[in-house]
Amino acid sequence: MKVLVTGAAGLIGSHLCDALIKEGHTVTGVDDLSFGNINNVNKNVNFIPIRVESIRNQYGPKALQVKYDVIYHLASLKKVWDGSISSCNVMDVNYNMTSIIVEKAIKDKSKLIFTSTSDIYGNSKTFSEDDNITMGPPTNLRYSYALSKWHSEQYILNASKEYNLNCSIVRVFGCASSRSNRTWSGGHVPLFVNLALNNKDINIHGDGLQTRSISHAIDIATGLVNMINVTNEIVNLGTDEQTTVKWVAEYIVQKTNSKSKINYIPRADVFGNYNEILVRFANITKANELIDYKINFNTKNVIDEIIQEFSK
Sketch the domain layout of the chain as residue ranges.
2-176+216-240+283-291, 184-211+242-280+299-310
- Torsion sign, CA atoms 290, 291, 292, 296: negative
DSSP 30-73: E--SSS--GGGS-TTSEEE-S-GGGGG-TTS-GGGTS--SEEEE
Residue-level pLDDT at 204 = 94
One fold for both 2-176+216-240+283-291 and 184-211+242-280+299-310?
A: no
The answer to whether residues 192 and 259 touch, using CB atoms and an 8 Å cutoff, is no
- Encode burial over 198-218: b for 16+ CB neighbours within 10 A, e otherwise: eeeebebbbebebbbbbbbbb
CATH 3.40.50.720, domain 2-176+216-240+283-291, yes or no: yes
Residue-level pLDDT at 138 = 84
The answer to whether residues 279 and 210 touch, using CB atoms and an 8 Å cutoff, is yes
Q: Which among 189, 13, 155, 156 has a CA at the least distance from the CA of 29?
A: 13
Q: Which among 126, 127, 305, 81 has a CA at the least distance from the CA of 215?
A: 305
DSSP 95-156: HHHHHHHHHHHHHHT-EEEEEEEGGGG-S-SS--TTS------TTSTTHHHHHHHHHHHHHH
Low-confidence ranges of the chain (pLDDT < 70): 58-60, 79-83, 270-274
Residue-level pLDDT at 302 = 98
Residue-level pLDDT at 6 = 97
d(C-alpha 77, C-alpha 272), whole Å:
22
Residue-level pLDDT at 58 = 64
Over pLDDT 90: what percentage of the chain? 78
Residue-level pLDDT at 59 = 61
Q: Which among 29, 77, 19, 21 has a CA at the least distance from the CA of 50?
A: 29
CATH 3.90.25.10, domain 184-211+242-280+299-310, yes or no: yes
